[in-house]
Structure 1
Amino acid sequence: MAHMLDSDQLRTFLAIADTGSFTRAAEIVHKTQSAVSMQMKRLEERLGREIFARDGRMSKLTDDGERLLDYARRIVRLNSECVASFAETDLVGRVRLGLPDDYADRYLPEILATFSRSNPRAEVTVVCEPTPMLVEQVNAGELDLAIITHVDGRGGSEVVRSEQLLWVTSARHCVHDEAVVPLALGRPTCNWRSSAVAALEETGRSFRVAYVSWNSTAVGAAVLAGLAVAVLPESAVRPGMRILGPRDGFPALPTCKIGLIRGAREPNELADALADQIRQSLDNLSAGRLLPLAEAAE
């Protein structure tokens, strides 16, 4: 007889898969590490397969764990949608959300529109700051949750979206053909900037950093004006921009992972509801993958 899977165990499984650590996952799901380990032992018993393989201090997925990952995301998402659809009353109160300005421009309209329809009496305070500042504010209890750029190895965030990073230039200019390519990038601590610089240095392509800003609108303005080449995730590419690839002399870049972090406070139903809405709005991990760089640059 087939065994039914426990959605709470699947949530914990996803937290471990996203952080690579039982310890960090325990913080995300608000359980002890021993409780997390017991949940995963029971999940493996139900499946009759091992889903984790130890790699030093990190926990990596086995082939069976990778196969479970897609199903787990869909099951957890559908469970949240089902519970929300039967809620008898809307939630009241205030929830504080932080996210970088470029994520706000792309994702916030859908998140707020859907959330406000379900919870019309809720007050949502939105703060737009770079990821490092948002992490500090969540840890300080100044924000209930935040959408951030996830960095592998840093942990603490639940990955809710993955996109290909792309080189972009103006569709009306040829700045990308210059012998020394001018770049518009974030500050030196920006992970996208580090990826871009490393990729160009590895290929021996000459470049200079011409424009620096945390603000995506400012970076986009430099690109559209034909003043520089920038690095953006796929969903941030705007009309008037052209995607560059290896045939243009620009090497492939890694993917960008978008994560969700929560404050370690008392349970907050309003924050839980908003977190579920963010997962549903941003999720592209279960249904259809993004085009690889070679195809996207066609």
Structure 2
Amino acid sequence: MIPNLDVDLLKTFLAIADTGNFTRAAEEVHKTQSAVSMQMKRLEELVGRPLFTRDGRQSRFTADGERLIEYARRIVNLNDEAVAAFTKPELTGTLRFGTPDDYADRFLPEILARFSRTHPLVTVNVDCAMSPVLYERSRHGELDLALVTACSEIIADEIVRTENLVWVTSQRHSAHMLDTLPVALSHTGCEWRALAVGALERQGRKYRIAYSSPNSNAVNAAVLAGLAVGAIPEICLRPGMRLLSEKDGFPKLSQFRIGIVHRPGRRSSAAEALSRHISESISNMPRQLMAAE
């Protein structure tokens, strides 16, 4: 008979993963360190595999321990959603939410599905635009909250993830080998465009902006057709794309941050709830599940 995993054990397990050691995890879950150790011994008995290994005075995750983190987050999140659906008062109303279309493709299905399960009476109106536009609209009260690319000009209220910007080309074409590199990028003002152009110019690489569009689907289409290379978030990789690295002669690109911006003034309970769902969904989303297969 397959054993049932105890949610309390999994929450302690995740506290260890998030804090980095048993001592801080014990403080996080309000237990003694010996109680945490006993819980982890019980969890190892349930899964039938060692989850930790000793490295000097430190405990580190085994390969099976690393694998369990993803499952534990999904189980704990679903448990908390189920409890919230029956114990919290139902919220109503309409929320105005903004996000760039890049993020809409990757994040919205999971975010809206989770939010709808716990708050079925809240309507979410979604507007897609570039981050600078969404930032201004949020600050002027035209949106309740927005998911944006944070930078020096866009100060997010909360940073939910740090991600890699990467060079991509078509798996079936070789635009990346041309002497003058054709590049497909978003419009002027986009943080990713500035990072990509800056990296090429510092390298002294000859390039031309072959395609420019605020729409990510148009940029991706140019890349997939072999007409240009692109600089996109690693999380937005699509089937048919190939990563380009320094081994291919491309300069390494900087990381960028994803954040949430709220409208000024008091936040509604519905806006706070959606903000939590966005933060939890994106920060806990495993990288390997976001990359294109």
TM-score, with length taken from structure 1: 0.67
> Which runs of 5 or more residues in structure 2 are unaligned?
1-72
Q: Tell me what 2:188 maps to.
A: 188
Kept in 2: contact 1:161–1:258 (CA 8 A) = yes
**1:165 Cα offset (Å):** 0.5
Judge conservation of contact 2:85–2:119 (CA < 8 Å) in 1: no
Write the distance in 1 (CA, Å) between the matches of 2:257 and 2:267: 26
> Equivalents in 1 of 2:211, 2:137: separation in Å?
27
Q: 1:153 to 1:211 in 2, by over 3 A?
A: closer
State the match for 1:262 in structure 2.
Answer: 262
Displacement, 1:140? Answer: 1.4
Matched, 1:131 2:145: no
CA distance in 1, matches of 2:166, 2:215: 17
Residues 65-93 of structure 1 deviation map (CA, whole Å, 9 limit, x = unaligned): xxxxxxxxx9xx99xx5894673332111
Q: Distance in 1 between matches of 2:91 and 2:156?
A: 27
Q: How far off is 1:108 after superposition?
A: 0.3
Percent of paired sites with the same residue: 49
Distance in 1 separating the partners of 2:88 and 2:131: 36
- 1:121: Cα distance to partner? 1.0
> Counterpart of 2:100?
100
Q: Which residue of structure 2 lines up, in the alignment, with residue 238 of structure 1?
A: 238
What are the superposed Cα offsets for residues 181-227 of structure 1, whole Å, 9 maximum, x if unpaired? 00000112111111111111111111000000011000000000000
Could you say what secondary structure the match of 2:172 adopts? coil
Q: Which amino acid aligns with 1:87?
A: T
Matches of 2:118 and 2:247, distance apart in 1: 47
The letter for the 2-side match of 1:217 is: N
Letter in 1 for 2:246: P
- Range with greater deviation from structure 2 (219-228 or 83-92): 83-92
Tell me the equivalent position of 2:18. Answer: none
Number of the residue aligned with 1:164: 164
Uncovered stretches (5+) of structure 1, i.e. residues with no partner? 1-73, 291-295
Give, as a single letter, the amino acid of the residue that structure 1 aligns with 2:191. Answer: N
* Alignment check: 8 A CA contact 1:150 1:157 kept: no
- After superposition, where does 1:35-50 map in structure 2 within 5 Å? none
- Residue 267 and residue 194 in structure 1: after superposition, are their counterparts in 2 closer, same or farther (change >3 A)? closer
Equivalence for 1:179: 179
- The structure showing larger relative contact order (alpha-carbon pairs under 8 Å, at least 6 residues apart) is 1
Aligned residues: 212
Question: How big is the alpha-carbon RMSD for the aligned residues of Structure 1 and Structure 2?
Answer: 2.3
Distance in 2, Cα, partners of 1:236 & 1:145: 22
- Rg: which structure is higher? 2
**Structure 1: 4+ residue segments shifted above 6 A:** 287-290
Counterparts of 1:110 and 1:288 in 2: how far apart (Å)?
Answer: 13
Counterpart for residue 121 of structure 2: 121
What TM-score do the two structures reach when normalised by structure 2?
Answer: 0.68
